[in-house]
Copies of this chain bind each other. A is one copy, B any other.
Amino acid sequence: MPIQRLSIIGVGLLGGSIGMAVKSVLSGCEVVGYGHRKETLERAVAVGAIDRGEGDLAKAVEGADLIILCTPVGLLANMLNGISGSVKGGAIVTDVGSTKASVVGDAGKILKGKAAFIGSHPMAGSEKRGVEFARADLFRNALCIMTPTAETDPSVLEQVEAFWRLIGMRTCRMSPEAHDRALAEVSHLPHALAAALVTMQSPEALELAGKGFLDTTRIAGGDGGLWRDIFQDNAPNVRAALARLRGLLDDFERLLDLAKGEELRQWLDAAAARRQALLQEKLREITPD
């Protein structure tokens, strides 16, 4: 797919970084950014994230070959409705949301017969927000999860995968439902836990917080509104993950009995070994041969 016009809907950290990355590798592609605040669009142009800003959603996608929705998860259905009447024939639409089943379902209905949709989840970002933190290399070596369904046109999937690879990402494929189950475990529940850990501290305990505590709770620094959307959209999976965690905390508490010392050591060592193996695997993944 030769992309001559790319529309980025929502020019924050992720949208802005996509624009910068595209402009660093593709020449002859116009990058149009949509946002509802004029100042944000002007800043996005100034930092080189987009070529031009557009405050009208329908106009922002006119003539675009690829449209990437980069708004908070809770706004994606609105955005799909807002663009469905003005996408050009043959256009491909994707998104960068942290939950996938609902947006894939919505897009299937809203864009039916108008444009092709494939869900993407580029796993990059930071607890910072806004185009002023955007970077052309934000996505480099990170994983982008593609979530095709039985209805997905394989060539659309391949074209969007090729796009993410073009800006330096690795890609993998899984169903929207499997994605949401896995992300509840590895991302959404950990965020809630980090928030709970910060909240439960007495002032005396917080005084003593060291580097370990700051690392453990780093992800709790994210924006509450964005995360509220994610939790609401993925609530059943988050509840299931929370139930599994509660079971493990019950196990841990039982092992605090003095007589269970050897079992407790094994439980802790097994977790340490699993994390160590994960770390080695991740280091291999992001280290080019």
Contacts and interface: CB of A to CB of B under 8 A. Distances in A.
Determine the main DSSP class of A at the interface with B: helix
Top 10 A-B residue pairs of the complex, sorted by shortest distance between their CB atoms: A224-B269, A224-B268, A195-B271, A185-B205, A182-B205, A196-B248, A186-B205, A228-B265, A224-B265, A235-B256
Interface in A236-263: 238-239, 241-242, 244-246, 248-249, 252-253, 256, 258, 261
Contact of A190 (B185, B213, B252, B272): B213
A124 to B, nearest CB: 8
A210 interface: yes
B221 A218 contact: no
Contacts of A172: 207
Interface stretch (A12-20, A148-156, A275-283): A275-283
Interface string A100-140: 00000000000000000000000110010000000000000
Given A198-B274, A214-B279, A270-B199, A209 B224 contact: no
B282 A261 contact: no
A278 B206 contact: yes
A249 B196 contact: yes
B205 A215 contact: no
Contacts of A208: 123, 143, 145, 182-183, 186-187
A126 B201 CA distance: 22
A231 B251 CA distance: 14
B201 A185 contact: yes
Contacts of A271: 194-196, 198-199, 220
> How many copies of the chain does the oligomer comprise?
2
Nearest to A271: B195
Given A195-B272, A212-B218, 20 more contacts: A172-B207, A187-B210, A194-B216, A197-B245, A199-B267, A200-B241, A200-B245, A206-B274, A209-B278, A215-B215, A216-B218, A220-B271, A221-B279, A222-B268, A225-B265, A227-B268, A235-B258, A239-B256, A242-B252, A245-B249
Nearest to A124: B210
Interface string A42-68: 000000000000000000000000000
A3 interface: no
Contacts of A145: 208
B193 A193 contact: yes
A87 interface: no
Nearest to A184: B205
